[in-house]
Each structure stands twice: as C-alpha cells, then as structure tokens.
Structure 1
Amino acid sequence: MKVFCVFLLVSFSYGLPTDSKGTKLSAPNLTRLTAMESDGGYSERINWDAVVSDDASDPVVGYKVNIWEVKKIKSTKYSYVNGTLQKREEEIEPPIDFDNGPEGTPTVLLTPANQTEVTFNIKLHVTYEIRIQAYTKNIDGPLSSPDRIQLD
C-alpha cells in the first residue's frame, strides 16, 4: 500500500511547478474580429481583453499577436457516379489544434500592455489563425484559444 501511495503522489505532482513564487498569467480572450476594406486592400482588426499579472513586481509589459497563414492539405475522395468509381482531389483546411499553432512560422505583432487592439493586412481567400499571449519581463503567458478568419 505504501508503494502505491508514493506512486500516486509522484504521478500527481509530475509537471507541477515547484517554485510557488512564479508569475502566473491567463490567456487573453479575443473579443472581436473586424474585417475592413480600403483603397489599398483588406485588413483585419483584432481586439482582446487585457491580462493582469498576479505578481505586481512582474507586470504584463505587452502582447504577442501570433498570426499564421493556414496551409491547406490535400484530400482525396472517392465516389461512385453512375456506377463508376471516380477520384476527386481537393484542398481542405487542417483541423484546429488547440494545443499548438498551425504548421509554419507565425507573423508576430508586438503591442504594449496598454494596447489591446491591432490591425494587420490580409489577402482574399487565405485563412488566418490568430492566437494572442501576454508576456512579462520574465515569462510568456499561455496562448489564447485560436480563431480563424478568411475573406472570400
């Protein structure tokens, strides 16, 4: 029984922070996405709720707005049409991965802590995934839940 209890203690404590003085940040909450058209093309305005650090000596100094162009993946579908098997290839968006961003390197826009809005240029028929994170001088907070946008 003692071995079992020790094992449970080890398994439940695995991965927990050992330093209780560490700063904790919550993920920003995206509140609004607004598409805009101008003479030069299209842009997207992103708004989010401010994040406050739980450690007054390590305040939020800004936000990192991560923007990925989502690359489509090829999919092959087979179907019978008039008794004949036909092959059709199409490109589809990959499913959203809530733990990681899409493949590739995001464009990262930095804003100061007092700014919870950013605007960036977008292209038609391209899907973008947006995730925001607050940061302090010592740590990066968790990424927000992903949102995807596309203008057709």
Structure 2
Amino acid sequence: MKVFCVFLLVSFSYGLPTDSEVTKLSAPNLTHLTAMESDGGYSEVINWDAVVSDDASDPIVGYKVNIWEVKKIKSTKYSYVNGTLQKTEEEKEPPIDFDNGAEGTPTVLLTPANQTEVTYNIKLHVNYEIRIQAYTKSIDGPLSYPVRLRLG
C-alpha cells in the first residue's frame, strides 16, 4: 500500500468563512488530507476539526462532506501569427467560488458528530473540491474554506 500526503497550503487572501450570526455554528477547518493507493484504486482520507454548537438545546448532529468533481473550462483563443489567423484551444480550472461550492451537484458524505474523518474513493487526473459543514437538527452551518486536490 502506498500512502501519499497532501499538504494543505491554503491562501487566506480571500478570507475564511465567517461564523454565521443566524446559525451560531462555525465552519469546520480541514486539517489533513492523505491519499492512499490500494488494490489498483485510490482513496483520500479527509480530516477536519470538530465544531461545537453555541445552542446547547440544538447540538451538532453530524457533518456533511461535500465533494465536487471540478470540470475544466474550455475556451478558444484566436490570434494572428505572421498574418495568419490561428485558433488555440485552452482548458483552465474554473476560479474558486468562496461563497458557494463548485459548479454542479456534489457527492455528500454524512458523518456523525463524533467522527471528523472520512475516506472517499478518487480517480487520477480529476480535480476535486472539498468543503465541509456541520449541521444540527434545525440548521446547516456555513461551508468550510474550499480545498482543491488532484492526483496524477
């Protein structure tokens, strides 16, 4: 079994998700990602810090681990080279939306409140965005800071 460590080097220039005044829940903090290879497949172990509800009558029930496959955006660029119009196609990763998740519907993994780790099977050469949120019986907390990863 091979184990790969993915270190989180996150730029905080856009700021972290703020605690919601309405929800009284903090956004979880992703602390560690570990990629593993076994039996020809790959998986990612995702760890985060626990969150505590400010409302004792509405404690944390669990966490929603939201995982998006981030599709590249294709664009076409035209330019003149030596008097001839040439077409160039590019693929770029879309910018991170710090207020919402990535485009599309995420895979959502639910964990109980006492679990701050989950394992998810991943594919090589695919970009993923991961965001976690705590929830209670009555509310969902804010999404964590987005983290993107890709193996291969």
- The two structures have a TM-score, normalised by structure 1, of 0.81
CA distance in 2, matches of 1:120, 1:98: 23
CA distance in 2, matches of 1:139, 1:109: 17
Note if contact 2:23-2:140 (Cα within 8 Å) is conserved in structure 1: no
Number of residue-to-residue matches in the alignment: 133
Residue 5 of structure 1 corresponds to none
Runs of 4 or more off by more than 6 Å in structure 1? none
Structure 2 residue 33 is the aligned partner of structure 1 residue 61? no
Q: Deviations over 1:39-97 (max 9, x none)?
A: 14000111000000001111101000000001111122344555544211022111000
Q: Which has the higher helix share?
A: 1
Q: Which has the higher strand share?
A: 2
- The two structures have a TM-score, normalised by structure 2, of 0.81
Note if contact 1:23-1:55 (Cα within 8 Å) is conserved in structure 2: no
Q: Quick one: structure 1 residues 91 and 23, their matched pair in 2 at CA, closer, same or farther if it must change by over 3 Å?
A: closer
Considering only CA atoms, is the larger Rg found in Structure 1 or Structure 2?
1
Give the share of equivalent positions with the same residue, in percent.
87
What root-mean-square deviation, in Å, do the aligned CA atoms of Structure 1 and Structure 2 show?
Answer: 1.8
Residue 95 of structure 1 corresponds to 95
CA distance in 1, matches of 2:34, 2:141: 25
CA distance in 2, matches of 1:151, 1:116: 23
- Structure 1 segments unaligned to the other structure (5+ residues): 1-16
